[in-house]
Amino acid sequence: LVNATRAINPFLTYLAYFSFEAKRDGTLKEPTETAKIANIATQGQTIPMLVITNIENGNFSADLTSVILRDATIQNKFITNILQTAEKYGMRDIHFDFESVAPEDREAYNRFLRNVKTRLPSGYTLSTTLVPKTSSNQKGKFFEAHDYKAQGQIVDFVVIMTYDWGWQGGPPMAISPIGPVKEVL
């Protein structure tokens, strides 16, 4: 991983190191070799991203997200830990890849992102991952909690997962079929 990062770094704008996992107590579980990867990115023009996920026990967890969004003390500790980690490794983009967020946490997630945004030091950016949906009222556990309009107003940029149709556990198809990608955009 370190050698691959070193080889590709000159061609990158951002390096999204997947992932720092949120914990129920407001701490973060760091991926291996974080310091080496971040150091390689900061040696060039690449902006290292602190990618934070709501992965727990190998899966995206709505319950974990609810704990963070609904408890002000845990949320404050979580944001503080994120900012300290970003500073420690020179990561200037804070990126949330929270998937399977409960629909009833939609507004709480927006408030959380606003809270993070107000606490970012100068020169930092905030970004999120959004699932590809074709209407604001699209139903399903992956869609309802993500408010495209609100996140577009809060964060500096979004990553729309238009690469997520074809995958190893599904039927044979393109990873990013052009028709559905155009429909989302």
What total number of domains does the chain contain? Answer: 1
Sheet holding 93-97, edge to edge: 28-29, 14-22, 47-53, 93-97, 125-130, 157-160
Judged against a pLDDT cut of 90, whether residue 81 lies above it is answered with yes
Containing structural domain, residue 176? 2-184
- The enclosing domain of 56 has a CATH number of 3.20.20.80
Q: Above 80 in pLDDT, residue 119?
A: yes
pLDDT of 139 higher than 90: no
Residue from 21, 56, 99, 144 carrying the catalytic annotation: 99
Q: Is 87 a catalytic residue?
A: no
Query: Across 80-84, 136-140, 181-185, which has the greatest mean pLDDT?
Result: 80-84
What pLDDT sits at residue 133?
A: 83
CA–CA gap between residue 147 and residue 137 (Å, rounded): 9
- Which H, E and C letters describe the chain, residue by residue? CHHHHHHHHHHCCEEEEEEEEECCCCCEECCCCHHHHHHHHHHCCCEEEEEEECEECCEECHHHHHHHHHCHHHHHHHHHHHHHHHHHHCCCEEEEECCCCCHHHHHHHHHHHHHHHHHCCCCCEEEEEECCCCCCCCCCCCCCCCCHHHHHHHCCEEEECCCCCCCCCCCCCCCCCHHHHHHHC
Average pLDDT over the chain reads 93
Model confidence pLDDT, tens digit, residues 8-34: 999 999 999 999 999 999 999 999 999
* pLDDT band per the 50, 70, 90 thresholds, residue 142: confident
121 or 1, higher pLDDT? 121
- The alpha carbons of the chain give a radius of gyration, in whole angstroms, of 17
| Mean pLDDT across 160-164 | 81
Q: What is the pLDDT of residue 132?
A: 85
pLDDT score for 20: 98
